[in-house]
C-alpha cells in the first residue's frame, strides 16, 4: 500500500511544469527519474550556474536538476560539462555535439505582443540565438496594416533549435513572447500516412499524376504560369482606364 | 516531572547508593559521568559528532568557501575529482527501475558497499547519516521531557519497506524512495537548499519525539535497513566483555537506539560470547559512554574474549 502510494505520489510529482527544462542530454522524463540519483554533480560542473536542483515545492521531482530559460538560460558549452559530470547516465553521454541537444523547443507563443509582429525591428531573440539563421530565421512578410512595410517574423525551426532558452531569456517584453516548451507541448505530429505532394514530386522527379491543364489567370495572361508577382506601378493591361462602377457605371439596359 | 518519582528499586539499597541510583534513573549516564568524568562519558558521542559534522563540512566547503574537495551529496559524490562514491541503495532502486547506470556510479556504489560490508553497514547510520543527529535530538528530548507511550511499529517494518521500495521502483520505473527520503532531503537541503523539505525532516523529529521512541532510525527507515543488511558481517562490533561487572542500571538500554541488540551479549541469551553481533547494532558506542562499570568496548567480530 505504502509503496503504491509512494509510486502514485511519484507519478503525480513527475508532471513537471513546462518552464522547467532538463539539462542537455537528459533521458526522456520517465527514464530520467529512474536514472537520476539527485546528487547535483551536473549543477556543480555547470559554469554558468544555470542548473539548479529542485527543492520540495518547486513542483519538479525533488532534488533533480533543471533550469528556467527566462531566468538563466543554457550557454551551450562545447564540452557539455554537465553531461560529463553525470555518474549515472541520466544525462546521456551519447550527446557530444551540443547543437544536437534537444532540451525543449522555442515557440513564438504570443504574436499579439511580439514587437516584430507589430511591425518593429526588435529581432533580439533572433540576434541572441546561438544557432542564428538556422534555429531562428526572420521571415519577410508583407505588413497589411501599413500596406507599405515588411514584417520580419522570428520563426523557429525545430530541426535546429536546442531549447537553450536564450531567446526567451532576452525577450524584451515584461513577459516573454517567445518561450521554450517541452517538445510534447510545442510540437504537433503529422499522421503517418500523410504525403506532401511537392515532396513526392521532387522525389519522383516529376508529377505523379501527369501534366495538368493550366488555366489562365485573368489579368496575368502575359505572364509565365504561376508568376503572380506585382511590381510597383504595375497596371494590369486589361484594367487600363478604370471606369466607375455601381450606380456610376453609366450602364443602361 | 521526574521519572524517579514513580520508579522504585525492587530492593531498597543503602542510602548513598539509593540517591545515586535515583539520579541514574533520571539521567542515563549520570553515574558514568561521576565515575569517569564528563569527557570520557561522552567520548564516543563526541567522536561521532565530529565525524558526522566533519563529513558534512567537507561537503559544505565547496558551496560555502569555493573549496571543492567533495562535490555532490551522499547520493553520489566526487572527491578530489577522482574518487566516485554512490549510494548503493539508490543504485539498487535505479536498476530495479530498469536503468543500467554508468560505470562511475557502479564503481562508486561498489566502493561504498565494499567499505560498509567490511566494516559494518550501520556505521553509516550512526557515523555519517545527518538524520542521526535529528533523531538523537528527538530521543534526548523525549527522555528529558519524560514522554512515554505512543505507537512504535515493528522493527521489521524497515525491512518490509526496503523490499517495497525496490518493488515500487520496478513498478513505477523511478527511484521510488527518493520521493520522500528524509536522509537525502536533509543532506541535499543543507548543501543545495531545502525548499519545503525541512518539513519532512521536522516530521521525522516529531515522529520520534511524540509517537515512536527511536521510531525512524530503529523501525521505519529502509535506507537503514539496507545498510543493516550490509551490517551482517561487520568487522567492527561492540563487546560486553566485562559483563560480569554489570549492575543492571539499564543505562545502556535507555540510550541504545536498538536496545534489543544488547540482551543476547550482556545477559548471554541464546549465545555464550559477549559480542553484539546483531545486524541492527549501529556501533555508535553510546553504551560504552554511559556505562559506569566499563562493561562495553569496541572491538572486532573475532574477539570473543571475556574478562
pLDDT, one tens digit per residue, over A138-171 is: 999 999 888 889 999 999 999 999 999 999 999 9
CB spacing of A63 vs B185 below 8 angstroms: yes
Residue B206 counted as domain residue: yes
Q: What is the pLDDT of residues B243-265, one digit of tens each?
A: 888 988 889 998 999 988 998 88
Average pLDDT over residues A29-38: 92
Q: What is the pLDDT of residue B4?
A: 44
Residue A16: how many other CB atoms lie within 10 Å = 19
Rounded Cα gap, residues A47 and A56, in angstroms: 24
Q: What is the pLDDT of residue B109?
A: 94
Average pLDDT over residues A101-111: 95
Residue B103 counted as domain residue: yes
pLDDT at B118 over 50: yes
Please tell me the distance in Å from B139's CA to the nearest CA on chain A. 26
Lowest mean pLDDT among A112-116, A223-227, B151-155: A223-227
* Chain B contact set for A87 (CB, 8 A): 76, 78, 84, 86, 101-102, 104-105, 108
Q: Which residue of B has its CA nearest to A4?
A: B168
A61: left (phi over 0), alpha (psi -120 to 50) or beta: beta
Q: What is the pLDDT of residue B150?
A: 82
Do residues B78 and B72 make contact, with C-beta atoms less than 8 angstroms apart? Answer: yes
From the number of C-beta atoms within 10 Å of its C-beta (0-12, 13-18, 19+), residue A129 rates as buried
Choose, out of B178, B197, B222, the residue to mutate when testing the contact with A (most A CBs < 10 Å): B178
Q: What is the pLDDT of residues B186-231, one digit of tens each?
A: 999 999 988 888 899 999 999 999 999 889 999 999 999 999 999 9
Take residue A9 and report the three cell numbers written for it.
505520489
Residue B85 counted as domain residue: yes
CB spacing of A34 vs B189 below 8 angstroms: no
- Kindly state whether B88 is in contact with chain A, defined as any CB-CB distance less than 8 angstroms: no
Residue B83 counted as domain residue: yes
Residue B303 counted as domain residue: no
CB spacing of A33 vs B174 below 8 angstroms: yes
Q: What is the pLDDT of residue B28?
A: 84
Dihedral angle, C-alpha A143, A144, A147, A149, nearest 10 °? 0
pLDDT at B37 over 70: yes
Residue B174 counted as domain residue: yes
pLDDT at B82 over 70: yes
Q: What is the pLDDT of residues A206-247, one digit of tens each?
A: 888 887 787 777 777 777 777 777 777 766 666 556 667 777
Lowest mean pLDDT among A87-91, A113-117, B2-6, B179-183: B2-6
Residue B294: how many other CB atoms lie within 10 Å = 14
Rounded Cα gap, residues B180 and B204, in angstroms: 11
List helix spans (H) across chain B. 15-26, 30-36, 43-65, 88-96, 103-119, 123, 131-145, 157-172, 182-192, 198-206, 215, 222-229, 251-255, 262-266, 286-290
Helix or strand run (H / E) with residue B70: strand B70-73
Please tell me the distance in Å from B96's CA to the nearest CA on chain A. 9
Lowest mean pLDDT among A89-103, A220-234, B70-84, B187-201: A220-234
pLDDT at A105 over 80: yes
Average pLDDT over residues B230-249: 91
Percentage above 90 pLDDT, chain A:
62
Nearest to A31 among B86, B99, B169 (CB): B99
Residue B24 counted as domain residue: no
* Chain A contact set for B175 (CB, 8 A): 33-34, 36-37
Q: What is the pLDDT of residue A248?
A: 77
Q: What is the pLDDT of residue A225?
A: 76
Do residues A80 and A96 make contact, with C-beta atoms less than 8 angstroms apart? Answer: yes
3-state secondary structure B183-250: HHHHHHHHHHCCECCHHHHHHHHHHHHHHCCCHHHHHHCHHHHHHHHCCCCCCEEEECCCHHHCCCCC
Helix B157-172 to helix A2-13 angle, to the nearest 10 degrees? Answer: 40
Could you say which residues from 108 to 167 on chain B have a Cβ atom under 8 Å away from some Cβ of chain A?
Answer: 108, 161, 164-165, 167
Q: Which residue of A has its CA nearest to B171?
A: A7
- Structural domain range at position B152: 69-229
Rounded Cα gap, residues A135 and A143, in angstroms: 23
List helix spans (H) across chain A. 2-13, 29-35, 41-45, 81-85, 124-128, 166-170, 183-186, 197-204
Average pLDDT over residues A77-91: 94
Do residues A123 and A140 make contact, with C-beta atoms less than 8 angstroms apart? Answer: no
Residue B241 counted as domain residue: no
- Please count the residue pairs, one from chain A and one from chain B, whose beta carbons lie less than 8 angstroms apart: 153
pLDDT at B76 over 90: yes
Percentage above 70 pLDDT, chain B:
92
Q: What is the pLDDT of residue A244?
A: 72
Q: What is the mean pLDDT of chain A?
A: 87
Q: Which residue of A has its CA nearest to B163?
A: A3
Nearest to B197 among A9, A61, A62 (CB): A62
Q: Work out the pLDDT band at B14, boundaries 50, 70, 90.
A: very low
pTM: predicted TM-score of the whole model, two decimal places: 0.81
Rounded Cα gap, residues A101 and B50, in angstroms: 45
Domain tally for chain B?
1
Amino acid at each position: 500500500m505504502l509503496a503504491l502510494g509512494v509510486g502514485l505520489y511519484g507519478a503525480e510529482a513527475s508532471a513537471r511544469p513546462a518552464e522547467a527544462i532538463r539539462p542537455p542530454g537528459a533521458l526522456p522524463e520517465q527514464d530520467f527519474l529512474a536514472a537520476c540519483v539527485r546528487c547535483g554533480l551536473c549543477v556543480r560542473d555547470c559554469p554558468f550556474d544555470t542548473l539548479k536542483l529542485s527543492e520540495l515545492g518547486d513542483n519538479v521531482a525533488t532534488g533533480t536538476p533543471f533550469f528556467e530559460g527566462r531566468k538563466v538560460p543554457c550557454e551551450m558549452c562545447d564540452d557539455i560539462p554537465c553531461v560529463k559530470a553525470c555518474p549515472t547516465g541520466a544525462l546521456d553521454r551519447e550527446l557530444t555535439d551540443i547543437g544536437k541537444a534537444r532540451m525543449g523547443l522555442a515557440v513564438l507563443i504570443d504574436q499579439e505582443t511580439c514587437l516584430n509582429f507589430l511591425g518593429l525591428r526588435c529581432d533580439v531573440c533572433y540576434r541572441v540565438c546561438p544557432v542564428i539563421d538556422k534555429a531562428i530565421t526572420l521571415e519577410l512578410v508583407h505588413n497589411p496594416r501599413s500596406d507599405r512595410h515588411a514584417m520580419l517574423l522570428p520563426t523557429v525551426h525545430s530541426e535546429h533549435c536546442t531549447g537553450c532558452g536564450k531567446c526567451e531569456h532576452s525577450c524584451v517584453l515584461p513577459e516573454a513572447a517567445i518561450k521554450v516548451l517541452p517538445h510534447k507541448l510545442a510540437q504537433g505530429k503529422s499522421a503517418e500516412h500523410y504525403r506532401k505532394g511537392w515532396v513526392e514530386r521532387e522525389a519522383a522527379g516529376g508529377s505523379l499524376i501527369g501534366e495538368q491543364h493550366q488555366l489562365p489567370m485573368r489579368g496575368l495572361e502575359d505572364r509565365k504560369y504561376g508568376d503572380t508577382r506585382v511590381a510597383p506601378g504595375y497596371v494590369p493591361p486589361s484594367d487600363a482606364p478604370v471606369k466607375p462602377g455601381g450606380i456610376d457605371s453609366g450602364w443602361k439596359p | 516531572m521526574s521519572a524517579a518519582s514513580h520508579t522504585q528499586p525492587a530492593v531498597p539499597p543503602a542510602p548513598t547508593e539509593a540517591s545515586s541510583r535515583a539520579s541514574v534513573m533520571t539521567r542515563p549516564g549520570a553515574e558514568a559521568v561521576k565515575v569517569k568524568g564528563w569527557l570520557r562519558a561522552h567520548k564516543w558521542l563526541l567522536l561521532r559528532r565530529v565525524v558526522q559534522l566533519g563529513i558534512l563540512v567537507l561537503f559544505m566547503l565547496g558551496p560555502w568557501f569555493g573549496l571543492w574537495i567533495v562535490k555532490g551529496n551522499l547520493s553520489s559524490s566526487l572527491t578530489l575529482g577522482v574518487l566516485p562514491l554512490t549510494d548503493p541503495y539508490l543504485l539498487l532502486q535505479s536498476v530495479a527501475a530498469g536503468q543500467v547506470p554508468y560505470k562511475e556510479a557502479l564503481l562508486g556504489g561498489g566502493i561504498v558497499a565494499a567499505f560498509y560490508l567490511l566494516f559494518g553497514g550501520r556505521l553509516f547510520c550512526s557515523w555519517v547519516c545527518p538524520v542521526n543527529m535529528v533523531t538523537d535530538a528527538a530521543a534526548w528530548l523525549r527522555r528529558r521531557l519524560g514522554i512515554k507511550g505512543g505507537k512504535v511499529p515493528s522493527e521489521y517494518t524497515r525491512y518490509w519497506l526496503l523490499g517495497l521500495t525496490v518493488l515500487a521502483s520496478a513498478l513505477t520505473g523511478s527511484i521510488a524512495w527518493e520521493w520522500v527520503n528524509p536522509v537525502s532531503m536533509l543532506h541535499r537541503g543543507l548543501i543545495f537548499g531545502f525548499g519545503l523539505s525541512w518539513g519532512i525532516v521536522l516530521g521525522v523529529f516529531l515522529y520520534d519525539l511524540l509517537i515512536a521512541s527511536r521510531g525512524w532510525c530503529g523501525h521505519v527507515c529502509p535506507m537503514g535497513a539496507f545498510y543493516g543488511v550490509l551490517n551482517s558481517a561487520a568487522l567492527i562490533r561492540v563487546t560486553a566483555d566485562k559483563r560480569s561487572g554489570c549492575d543492571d542500571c539499564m543505562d545502556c538500554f535507555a540510550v541504545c537506539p536498538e536496545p534489543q541488540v544488547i540482551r543476547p551479549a550482556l545477559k548471554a541469551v541464546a549465545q555464550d560470547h559477549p559480542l553484539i553481533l546483531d545486524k541492527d547494532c549501529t556501533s555508535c558506542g553510546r553504551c560504552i559512554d554511559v556505562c559506569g562499570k566499563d562493561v562495553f568496548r569496541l572491538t572486532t567480530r573475532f574477539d570473543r574474549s571475556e574478562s
